[in-house]
Structure 1
Amino acid sequence: MASNVTVKSVLEKISVDHLECSICTNRFRQPKLLDCLHSFCLQCLQELRQSQDPSGTKLICPLCRRETMLKGSGVADLPNNFAFSALVDEVTMQEKLLDGQGSEIKCQACDEENKATSRCMDCDHFLCQECQKAHGRMTLMKSHKIYTLAQLRSGETVYKSKLREEVPKCGKHPDQNLNVYCNSCEQVICTTCSVLDHAKHSLSGLPEAVDKCKRKVTELVVKAHASQTELNTAIQKLSESRKELDTVFAATKTKISKKARQEIAKTRREEKKLSKEIDRIYKERTKAFEAAQAHSRKEVTKTEQKLDEVEHLTDQASCYEILEHQQKLLHNLSELTGKQPQQVPDKLTFMDFEEGERSLGRLVLEEEPKAAAKQSPRPTTFAAMEDLASHFAAIKTL
């Protein structure tokens, strides 16, 4: 019972969201990575291109609508996401082991269909007892790592997909591994390419290049978090300003009603006009606050999602993939650091009602210096609202 719980906890650590293609909702098959860091099955992307623009040179991500330029053979030439492929392989293996508790897993190294008792990680095969003994007798296989099914089921030994150890081959020289990073071209190359095509370029080893890339990513992640904090602060400030607006709105409405009650007979019409006008102004201002808050919340959500994608990719990807996707990683993070909150002028939280001597009074939408107000008193009739035109125009642009 304890082993079941352990294996289940291992499987739960790998989110289903990271294993399923958002287009077909099945587990990834040959996942390809777009410039926005979203991944989809190769076949799904090929079908998506047919539905968007079969002869076009760009592909629009169905999740974020960002464009990815296609080169060479189109979708097929998009970078592979080996990290996702490895995760699918590892979870599938754990499920096989769980299923094997109720039904036998057969040996894959012989034709006798014997019950498997272990797995060779180097051969990537389930083995029966006899085949495991054969491994021990053969010189070339003595160094192979073999674990019992009980060890794999319990989580004592974690199964790692061989895809994580796969070394990509050079496109120009298929017999050579990619083992050099060209800083000038920002790509991983083989030794032959480094001599023939990149001799005068700045070259470095993969470990050094990966460390440099990770440092850049870390710096941009810090800046992105700072931008996210600024957006959240802006949301809080907008919320406080909105409350302040609600308070002065209620107080102004009360003043209007109070004055109107004093002179009901002659001021009813003016009260309705003033109330209607203050209602309209309040609605416009609240829309400005709500739009600014919605904008900032949307940017915060985008930032959180993108940081999760970057973190997952850098945690799961191999050094080759990190360098291959370096430009995408840095570009996406750079976009996050430039996010700015949408601001609403503080003056929009102010409004007041000034009683008049010959009329009900007037709305005051901006704070006025007391001295200036005394020296140059303004008309108190409702007709003197032309000064609000520029203010309303400013609100509509928010």
Structure 2
Amino acid sequence: MATSDKIERLRERLLVCPICRDEFKDPRLLPCHHTVCFECIGNIVRSSSNTGRLFRCPQCRTDVFVPRGGIDAFPISFYILSVQDELGSKGYSSSCDICEREWMQSQFKCVDCDLDICRFCIHEHRLCHHDSTRHAIIRIETAPNAVNMSSNRTCPKHADEILQIYCITCDVAVCITCSCEDHKLHDTVPMTKKLREAQKQLQTELDRLTLEKKDAITLMEGIQTSIEEIKTTSSKALMEVDKRSKHLQQNLERLTSIKKDLLQNEETKGLQELSSYSDELKSYFDQLDNGVHFLEELQEGDMCLELLDGFEKFQKTLCEQKQLLKSRSLTYKTISFENGQDYIFRDVMFLNFGSLVNKKKTLNSLGVEMKLSNNDNNDIDSETFTMKKLIGSIFMLVILTTLGQIFLAFVENPNNFDVIFISLLCLVYLFVASYFAYRKSSKPVTYKV
């Protein structure tokens, strides 16, 4: 008989309570020298006597009187406690919830899944059902009937036999019967030897996985560094974009201010000239009005030589003012704003803010003549010609560069002729449209009213 079986039998004879039929918990010694659990004594006293002072021993049926101190006064059975210490308390016994073999006692408890697991099924459960850093698996106790077993798998042909032999030729685990029948002439080894060799291989695999883990950690750190770098550079780029945008806005505001100042200065100058001319014309008009009223109120009895001399003097003065106004040619300017154009080619933006256009008008005694010109020597937008020339030069440079790129693309891959032809058509259209737009903006217009 195996030592473990003897211990189990001895445990059943000495350490089992006659009432609850379980291992003693807080054993108490009765006057008849039998031992009962403290909790079981309380239960039997409450069910056996109305006074709670008398009950019978469950083994020898002797009447037992409860001491004055109550059931707490029953002495502790130190003998039973000593035996329990020597043999050890009865372990937690439960079958495996995964393989469901009644004879295979569980040795592990998965707290997360609430499963009792044997030492054979625990490995797959750890690898496939849990994160290695978060699993909550505790060891219960080593099951005595499975300590020396190398596997709990049974043979598919012989259900009562466990796989104890490993066939190296077929690379498969077999039972003893199969090794004598189907694998008789094959190279076989005991399962324990195969497992020892596998343990060495697993140690090598552990070293390899450890290195791969370090490489993965290094890669993850590199990825995290790259993420931080992307965030940092993106944030910096956004700041630069905002800074550039503010700079462009400041330039546009400065250019707007210049245009407004030029417009206001020209407006003030034109208004001053017209106001001065208007004052002179009003003085002439007052003289005419005075002469008209004088002649209208003149009566027949008022005629005299002095009147004629005075009127002649008045006519001379009026003629001088008229001649002065007639000889004076007044030129003034009206100003309008023509919006510019902006083009974006790849990352380059061509911007023309716009120009102030002079519309010159000349007033004289013969009528009114209006002349419109976009290119006058005294134009307030004299820098417009330089800007147009610069933009034209840049545009021609872009056209030449694009033509060069199209030619290189055609040389490298003549099969892209359709794409190249369409690109040339678009380029020609853009060039012709730009030319006519430039000519239209530069052509003076003159008409009479």
Structure having the larger proportion of residues in strand: 2
TM-score normalized by the length of structure 1: 0.30
When Rg is computed on C-alpha atoms for both structures, the one with the higher figure is 2
Task: Return the TM-score normalized by structure 2.
Answer: 0.27
Larger relative contact order (CA 8 Å, sep ≥ 6): 1
